[in-house]
Amino acid sequence: KQEVTQIPAALSVPEGENLVLNCSFTDSAIYNLQWFRQDPGKGLTSLLLIQSSQREQTSGRLNASLDKSSGRSTLYIAASQPGDSATYLCAVRGRDDKIIFGKGTRLHILP
């Protein structure tokens, strides 16, 4: 059974720093992996989607990488800003079409 883990559960960094969020999964037979952000009390906003055949995707200050063999994905945020404060979730879609979410990393950017 696929398990998705995000460590740490919470992270605080000073504004301007580059940072990496981690997502690990136990079954490498995935179809894709998607990163989301969620602001308090709101829905999820899609950030990046990486297909199983891809190694990385970039959007602005965000870069997501995927290493299926090690069961890991990272979300790199460059030059962090207070507006980046949110919870970041990853979700893995398996070959069986099941989508499993991690519990998220709560990020706080200190002004």
Partner 1 sequence: DVKVTQSSRYLVKRTGEKVFLECVQDMDHENMFWYRQDPGLGLRLIYFSYDVKMKEKGDIPEGYSVSREKKERFSLILESASTNQTSMYLCASSLEPPYEQYFGPGTRLTVT
Chain positions contacting partner 1, by CB under 8 A: 31-32, 34, 36, 41-46, 49, 51, 89, 91, 93, 98-99, 101-104
Q: Supply the minimum distance, in Å, between the C-beta of residue 85 and partner 1.
A: 18
CA 4 remoteness from chain centre: 11
Q: Supply the minimum distance, in Å, between the C-beta of residue 18 and partner 1.
A: 26
Contacts of residue 70, Cβ cutoff 8 Å, sequence gap at least 6: none
Q: Nearer Cβ to partner 1, position 34 or 80?
A: 34
Query: What's the angle, vertex CA 41, arms to CA 6 and CA 37, rounded to 5?
Result: 40
Which residue is listed with tokens 């829905």? 43
Q: Supply the minimum distance, in Å, between the C-beta of residue 103 and partner 1.
A: 4
Q: Nearer Cβ to partner 1, position 103 or 108?
A: 103
Q: Nearer Cβ to partner 1, position 18 or 59?
A: 59
Cβ(59)–Cβ(65) below 8 Å: no
Cβ(37)–Cβ(47) below 8 Å: yes
Q: Nearer Cβ to partner 1, position 24 or 34?
A: 34
